Amino acid sequence: MKINSYQEFQQSLQNNMPDEDWSDGLKALWFDAKGDWGSSHNIAQEMHSNLGSLIHAYLHRKEGDEFNAGYWYRKAQRSYPKISLEAELEEIVISIL
């Protein structure tokens, strides 16, 4: 199932699993939004790209590990965000869509 908006992403959280055709980045964020930080982190750490580093940074920021998050934001070539975690999640999902 292709999704075209953040609203559709949020609606997909009613499902038991993400769509198998989604990108790893979208799947990682879906698991995080469902409250499964571990599954999200497992996917993100296998993504050797700027997007993978960004998701990895977001996840460590979410867990409160600012030092580790800072490392991953730098690796993603991003500055440490000043927005809420919810806003950052939405921003990353939209960038993938």
Q: What is the pLDDT of residues 26-61, one digit of tens each?
A: 999 999 999 999 999 999 999 999 999 999 999 999
Long-range contacts from 62-66, C-beta under 8 angstroms, 24+ separation: 62/32, 62/37, 63/37
Percent of the chain with pLDDT over 90: 98
- Check if the beta carbon of residue 52 is closer than 8 Å to that of residue 64: no
pTM for this entry: 0.94
Mean pLDDT within 78-84: 96
Helix (H) or strand (E) holding 11: helix 6-12
DSSP annotation string for 48-71: -SHHHHHHHHHHHHHHT-HHHHHH
Give the pLDDT band of residue 2 (cuts 50, 70, 90). confident
